[in-house]
């Protein structure tokens, strides 16, 4: 029996991915840039089995519905490439919240891409894993890489994540609600593209924001990176809120946390706020400021858990044997 286990960490985008150019290949409308974290890993085991069906267990329970269908579709792609018909038993645990806007689909599909590639004998180089992970969830393309990476828009061959030179960064995760969101990222993204009058402006402006972000990262301009991070998040949420029917991910406490982070700046701690598709807020800061930021966010009374994160590793196969079933 062939089995492999892999671990991957979530990433939080400084320039957000929001919209697809091709849903079947999961190609993004624009590039994006993120920091892979060193907290909330996903650990996934893929075991090839003799049975007629795939099985997916997530966080200790049998997964059904869309989460299971996404994993089976992903395994079908892996099998097609590997020339295998073997079914698999997939067991995965997210150390962080699932479906809450803290990138579980990113760590989840990055870990699955690596574990499945190892188990079915597909290539394990970073570009191959990043392209493959993208098919499971777009943001997963970036969780293959450590630290700061850019995920290129492009075609099936060229759309993968690569490292970007950057100053050292830290993030402080302020959990407002760790429960699953009512509308998944995928559904809200598709609805935004189909119905938000601001979507075109979002796509056009994001191309410019990404160019500016990469340039700021390469010259070590932390301040501009922070400003662009807040801008990208707020522009994304503006375009989401304008879709029909509207989706509003930011809760009152999320907005108050953005204000608290702005107040920290006027107090001399240079932090910037961002939020994915969910109410949880992540503060970007310099590594030496992470404890001051965490203390301030804890002291605000606006967050439940406050978790300090640094730059994390890329995906790793921790155990396993490759080979045909």
Q: Which positions touch ligand ADP (CB under 6 A)? A: 42, 44, 58, 66-67, 70-71, 92, 94, 98-106, 108, 112, 184-185, 276-278
Task: Tell me phi and psi for residue 208, to 5 degrees.
Answer: -70, -40
47 binds, among ligand ADP, ligand DP6, Co ion, none (CB under 5 to 8 A by kind): none
Distance CA 279, CA 268 (A): 26
Contact between 185 and Co ion by CB under 5 A: the answer reads yes
Minimum Å gap between C-beta 30 and ligand DP6 is 10
> Among 107, 93, 117, 106, which Cα is nearest to 44's?
93
Query: For the chain, what percentages of helix, strand and coil (3-state, to nearest 5) are there?
Result: 40, 25, 40
Distance CA 26, CA 73 (A): 13
Residue that has been written with the tokens 């991915």 in this structure: 17
Strands 170-174 and 281-285: antiparallel
Decide whether 105 or 117 has the Cβ nearer to ligand DP6: 105
Distance CA 39, CA 252 (A): 26
Stretch that binds Co ion, among 37-45, 181-189, 214-222, 280-288 (CB under 5 A): 181-189
Q: Is 61 exposed, middle or buried (0-12, 13-18, 19+ CB in 10 A)?
A: exposed
Decide whether 31 or 108 has the Cβ nearer to ligand ADP: 108
CB 137 within 8 A of CB 98: no
100 binds, among ligand ADP, ligand DP6, Co ion, none (CB under 5 to 8 A by kind): ligand ADP
32 binds, among ligand DP6, Co ion, ligand ADP, none (CB under 5 to 8 A by kind): ligand DP6
Strands 170-174 and 306-309: antiparallel
Stretch that binds ligand DP6, among 182-190, 199-207, 222-230, 312-320 (CB under 6 A): 182-190
13 binds, among ligand ADP, ligand DP6, Co ion, none (CB under 5 to 8 A by kind): ligand DP6
What DSSP letter does each residue of 71-104 carry, written as one string?
A: HHHHHHHHHHHHT---EEEEEEEESS-SSSSS-H
> Among 272, 215, 270, which Cα is nearest to 14's?
272
303 binds, among Co ion, ligand DP6, ligand ADP, none (CB under 5 to 8 A by kind): none
Minimum Å gap between C-beta 129 and ligand DP6 is 16
Contact between 19 and ligand DP6 by CB under 6 A: the answer reads no
Decide whether 79 or 142 has the Cβ nearer to ligand DP6: 142
Minimum Å gap between C-beta 242 and ligand DP6 is 16
* E strand or H helix that includes residue 318: strand 316-320
**Binding-site string for ligand DP6 from residue 132 to residue 161, where x marks contact by CB under 6 A and - marks none:** -----xxx----------------------
Among 277, 284, 293, 317, binds ligand DP6 (CB under 6 A): 277
Decide whether 45 or 311 has the Cβ nearer to ligand ADP: 45
Distance CA 147, CA 4 (A): 24
Distant-in-sequence, close-in-space partners of 69: CB < 8 Å, separation ≥ 6: none
232 binds, among ligand ADP, ligand DP6, Co ion, none (CB under 5 to 8 A by kind): none
Distance CA 3, CA 49 (A): 9
Residues in contact with ligand DP6 by CB under 6 A are: 13, 16-18, 26, 32, 105, 137-139, 185-186, 189, 276-277
């Amino acid at each position: 029996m062939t089995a492999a286990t892999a671990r991957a960490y979530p990433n939080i985008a400084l320039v957000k991915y929001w919209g697809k150019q091709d849903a079947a290949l999961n190609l993004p409308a624009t590039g994006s840039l993120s920091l892979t974290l060193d907290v909330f890993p996903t650990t996934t085991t893929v075991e090839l089995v003799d049975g007629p069906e795939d099985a997916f267990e997530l966080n200790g329970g049998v997964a059904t519905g869309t989460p299971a269908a996404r994993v089976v579709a992903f395994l079908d792609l892996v099998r097609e490439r590997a020339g295998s018909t073997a079914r698999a038993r997939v067991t995965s645990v997210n150390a962080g919240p699932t479906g809450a806007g803290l990138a579980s689909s990113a760590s989840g599909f990055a870990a699955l891409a690596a574990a499945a590639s190892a188990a079915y004998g597909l290539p394990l180089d970073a570009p191959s894993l990043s392209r493959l992970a993208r098919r499971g969830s777009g943001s997963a393309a970036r969780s293959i890489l450590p630290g700061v990476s850019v995920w290129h828009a492009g075609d099936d061959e060229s759309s993968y994540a690569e490292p970007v030179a950057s100053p050292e960064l830290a993030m402080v995760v302020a959990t407002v609600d760790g429960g699953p969101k009512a509308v998944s990222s995928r559904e809200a993204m598709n609805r935004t593209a189909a119905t938000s009058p601001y979507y075109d402006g979002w796509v056009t402006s994001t191309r410019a924001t990404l160019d500016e972000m990469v340039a700021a990262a390469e010259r070590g301009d932390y301040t501009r990176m922070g400003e662009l991070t807040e801008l990208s998040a707020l522009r994304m949420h503006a375009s989401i809120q304008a879709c029909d029917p509207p989706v509003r991910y930011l809760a009152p406490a999320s907005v108050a946390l953005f204000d608290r982070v702005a107040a920290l700046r006027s107090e001399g701690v240079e932090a910037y706020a961002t939020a994915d598709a969910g109410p949880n807020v992540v503060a970007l800061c310099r590594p030496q400021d992470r404890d001051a930021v965490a203390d301030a966010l804890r002291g605000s009374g606006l967050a439940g858990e406050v978790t300090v994160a640094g730059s994390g590793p890329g995906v790793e196969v921790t155990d396993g044997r490759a080979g045909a079933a």
